[in-house]
Amino acid sequence: MTSPITTDARCDTLKIGLLSISDRASSGVYEDKGIPALKNWLHQALWNPIEWSEQVIPDEQALITQSLLNLVHQGCNLVLTTGGTGPSPRDVTPEATLAVEGKEMPGFGEQMRQISLHFVPTAILSRQVAVIKGSTLIINLPGQPKSIEETLGGLKDEQGAVLVQGIFAAVPYCIDLIGGPYMECKEAFCKAFRPKTALHSKRV
């Protein structure tokens, strides 16, 4: 597969932080599956070279907030968390994310719940949030690999036509608006949306 716009060598490098939040995975009770699922999906979606920063941590609110701020200070353009967004007492990822005191972006959480409601009625119990801190977009994602793929990529029919947009379609333009590198999506896998006036503006 080749890009109609550029190749990997000419794409801007992205700095992406991945934070898996789980008491049991962080203590070695079971292997973390969130970060591998995120990396696999992003490799399929993007032409850009990616510089990763990865961490698996327990469900401790102060630790989560500090870890997010560390990723922001490292210059990550995008930070994705997985896990800890339900209603149980130990699920504190949304509170920890809001504690970074960034600009809340409620549309991401709203759309993730809309997507998940096509599969399970308990999607209304999910509490994912997203914020912009400086020039970093932080998004909470579900903990299960299948749910991660569904919320990022959306829903398609048997012919591949999009039924419900995934949240990632809006991520590249959001990164543009906060001054980040130009994200090149592999359109056969995930098509990003940019207003016509913004298309390839960083390439001219």
Q: Any idea what the CATH number is for the domain that residue 176 is in?
A: 3.40.980.10
Counted domains in the chain: 1
Distance CA 9, CA 45 (A): 16
Contact criterion met (CB below 8 Å) for 129 and 140? yes
Asked if the structure places residue 140 within a domain, the reply is: yes
pLDDT at 111 over 90: yes
pLDDT at 66 over 70: yes
Q: Supply the pLDDT for residue 196.
A: 82
Backbone phi and psi for residue 141, each to the nearest 5 degrees, phi listed first: -120, 165
Query: Which of the residue ranges 25-34, 99-108, 195-204 would you say has the lowest mean pLDDT?
Result: 195-204
Domain limits at 126?
Answer: 8-203
Distance CA 35, CA 188 (A): 23
Distance CA 142, CA 181 (A): 26
Asked if the structure places residue 1 within a domain, the reply is: no
Q: Supply the pLDDT for residue 153.
A: 94
Query: What average pLDDT does this structure show over 27-41?
Result: 93
Q: What percent of the chain has pLDDT over 70?
A: 91
pLDDT at 200 over 60: no
Distance CA 43, CA 84 (A): 24
Angle between helices 145-153 and 34-45 (to 10 degrees): 30
Q: Supply the pLDDT for residue 10.
A: 67
Asked if the structure places residue 31 within a domain, the reply is: yes
Asked if the structure places residue 87 within a domain, the reply is: yes
Query: What average pLDDT does this structure show over 28-51?
Result: 95
Contact criterion met (CB below 8 Å) for 48 and 13? yes
Q: What is the mean pLDDT of the chain?
A: 91
pTM value? 0.91
Asked if the structure places residue 41 within a domain, the reply is: yes
- Per-residue DSSP letter, 90: T
Contact criterion met (CB below 8 Å) for 6 and 47? yes
Q: Supply the pLDDT for residue 1.
A: 43
Query: What average pLDDT does this structure show over 119-144?
Result: 96
pLDDT at 75 over 80: yes
Secondary structure class of 17 (helix, strand, coil): strand
